[in-house]
Amino acid sequence: MKISGAEILIECLKKEGVKHIFGYPGGVVLNIFDVLYDEKELELILARHEQGAIHAADGYARASGKVGVAIVTSGPGATNTVTGIATASMDSIPLVVFSGQVPTMLIGNDAFQEADIVGITRPCTKHNYLVKDIKDLAKTVREAFHIASTGRPGPVLIDLPKDVTAGTTDFKWPGEVKIRSYNPTYQGNKWMIKQAARMIAKAKKPVIMAGGGVILSGASKELKGLAETAKIPVTMTLMGLGGFPGTHKLSLGMLGMHGTYYANKSVQDADLLIGIGVRFDDRVTGKTSAFAPDAKIIHIDIDPTSIRKNVRVDLPVVGDVKNVLKDMIKAVKEQKAQWDALRSAWLKQVDYWKEEKPLSYRLDKKIIKPEFVVEKIYEVSKGEAIICTEVGQNQMWAAQFYKYDKPRQLLTSGGLGTMGYGFPAAIGAQLACPGKLVFDIAGDGSIQMNIQELATAVINKLPVKVAILNNGYLGMVRQWQEMFFRERYSHTKLDVIPDFVKVAEAYGAVGLRAEKPDEVVPVLKEALKIKDKPVFMDFVVDWKEKVFPMVPAGAAIDEMIFEEEEKKSEKKLKAVK
């Protein structure tokens, strides 16, 4: 029986186990949307902007571990997804994005709503396709899901000309996928793993640095196993938070530009650094030539290009993190070392650093400190919420002051640093995990970048809690201007900020506000009571607050600036004046 391309597409999605699609209709995808009109098994979540749809699909994927799916129209519909695709690409998030395209006959003619989206997204997808023949459609969809979800995951785009979705053909579901040129390495080299175990047993001051790869590979159990077996402290990149329990004795929290004092100190003093599912991003390493200067580096990653891209590596292990760690635990146990005795001095040193300079901020009785809000969110959610963030100070405070014990608890645009990511991502996460508490920790700048998605959350009765740390500024940029640009606040003061309570109410959501520290917890508790609609909580916070510790760009990661020291140097400066 012949069925239409649009029907084939939907059948394929069902076979892939898709339940939710995020999208926005338009001219050349009408055939697809027409099929969706009668569809019972699949639900299309209508966003209010294609960027909202793609970030929601991304949040859905991060929270659930499944592939996120989005469908948009050609031209502007497709180009509006580019930021979201690049966001997913930088953080290795599996997405399959379907964009409509003008009919094959018209491609290249500058037709109405035509854009070369395959060309545009080539560098920010793992792979992309233009389906020119309806007969290739089912196979292409199958391949796309396979590529997106295996190896180092990533977004895949399929461009669908109108005549392909409108045409008809026989539908045959291709079973297994085999792509001769795509064979990721899943098992680590046994000899390398044995070498690594020897290095671990020899090391006096080892540190594990865990990244997003641990979460993507589902390897947190194995990571904990390795750390506990060989008594190695664990620091995490922003993407790795939750990969190892933040409340664990061996946890050092996040490292890097706004990492903890003790994480950065430990890495710089280590004699062995074990990078697991990380790519040694510049926000983590600071000045690479001064990064972990005394350490031998073991690097485990499924993507060979990550290895030796940014830092020297003494022992690379290419493979799926989970498999490699399983083998490594075995190999480490075979070393039969007296781990406790071997590590006691080092762990004592690390504990000393933890006590010497813990993460801190100054509480104030009159004015709300943003860190205080994050701490209270941690408390009222009992550490079990899914936290989405926007980008900037809000993101760093959310990383520092919430302790993530489980993977897939923190959803944040780590690589691309996309403002406007958090709110739609929270919508996707809430759909993927209906029973869970989902927060978006936002800034007053970021939230305005996809604020239209309030409508999506309201119509779908999603009780997403948006905590806006409202300081009236683009805070992180303002912080840099204050510290490095002689307090010249060029275009970072948001002079007109909407009344977020009224905005929420206008959309049919709930708006709450806290202006004093003692109002924070009541507002949060009030928000938790709401189960059927989104809540905006407008926390009017200290605009002067900055994120500390901070490693200035281009410095080594142990050259940290702390709040107190900065205050002192300010005084000195004033005295000189």
Partner 1 sequence: MRHTISILVENKFGVLSRVSGLFSGRGFNIESLSVGETIDPAISLMTIVTSGDDRIVEQITKQLNKLIDIIKVVDYMEVEHVEREMVLIKVAPKKNDKTEFLKLAEIFRGRIVDSGQVTFTVEITGDEKKIDAFIELIKPFGIKEFVRTGRVAIAREGVKKPK
Q: Annotated catalytic sites, by residue?
A: 50, 112-113, 162, 476
**126: contact with partner 1 by CB under 8 A:** yes
Identify which of residues 107 and 530 has a Cβ nearer to partner 1 in the complex.
107
Closest separation between CB of residue 294 and partner 1, Å?
21
In 74-153, which residue ranges form alpha helices assigned H by DSSP?
76-79, 82-90, 117-121, 137-149
Identify which of residues 305 and 490 has a Cβ nearer to partner 1 in the complex.
305
Name the one range near partner 1 by CB under 8 A: 77-85, 186-194, 251-259, 307-315: 307-315
In 357-450, which residue ranges form alpha helices assigned H by DSSP?
370-380, 393-401, 422-432
How far is 426 from 419, CA to CA, in rounded Å?
A: 13
Among 14, 15, 66, 309, binds partner 1 (CB under 8 A): 309
**147: contact with partner 1 by CB under 8 A:** yes
**182: contact with partner 1 by CB under 8 A:** yes
Identify which of residues 123 and 554 has a Cβ nearer to partner 1 in the complex.
123
The amino acid present at 394, given as its one-letter code, is N
Torsion of CA 430, 13, 50, 427, to 10 degrees: 0
**179: contact with partner 1 by CB under 8 A:** yes
Binding residues for partner 1 restricted to 218-247, rule: CB under 8 A:
none
**304: contact with partner 1 by CB under 8 A:** yes
Joined tokens for residue 457: 């959350």
Q: Rg of the chain's alpha carbons, rounded to an integer?
A: 25
Which helix (H) or strand (E) segment holds residue 328: the answer is helix 321-334
Among 108, 119, 293, 358, binds partner 1 (CB under 8 A): 119
Identify which of residues 98 and 397 has a Cβ nearer to partner 1 in the complex.
98
CA 221, 223, 225, 228 torsion: positive or negative? negative
Closest separation between CB of residue 122 and partner 1, Å?
6
**526: contact with partner 1 by CB under 8 A:** no
Neighbours of 407 (CB within 10 A): 24
Residues 6+ apart with CB under 8 A from 422: 388, 389, 390, 391, 411, 412, 413, 440, 441, 442, 446, 447
Name the one range near partner 1 by CB under 8 A: 52-60, 118-126, 418-426, 486-494: 118-126
Q: x/- contact string, 83-102, with partner 1 (CB under 8 A)?
A: --------------------
> What is the CA 502 to chain-centroid distance, rounded?
30
Closest separation between CB of residue 460 and partner 1, Å?
35
How far is 355 from 310, CA to CA, in rounded Å?
A: 32
**265: contact with partner 1 by CB under 8 A:** no
State the greatest distance between any 2 C-alpha atoms of the chain, in Å, as a whole number.
86
**127: contact with partner 1 by CB under 8 A:** yes
How far is 149 from 69, CA to CA, in rounded Å?
A: 12
Closest separation between CB of residue 116 and partner 1, Å?
10
- Please give the residue ranges that form the binding site for partner 1 (CB under 8 A): 118-119, 122-123, 126-127, 130, 147, 179-182, 303-305, 307-309
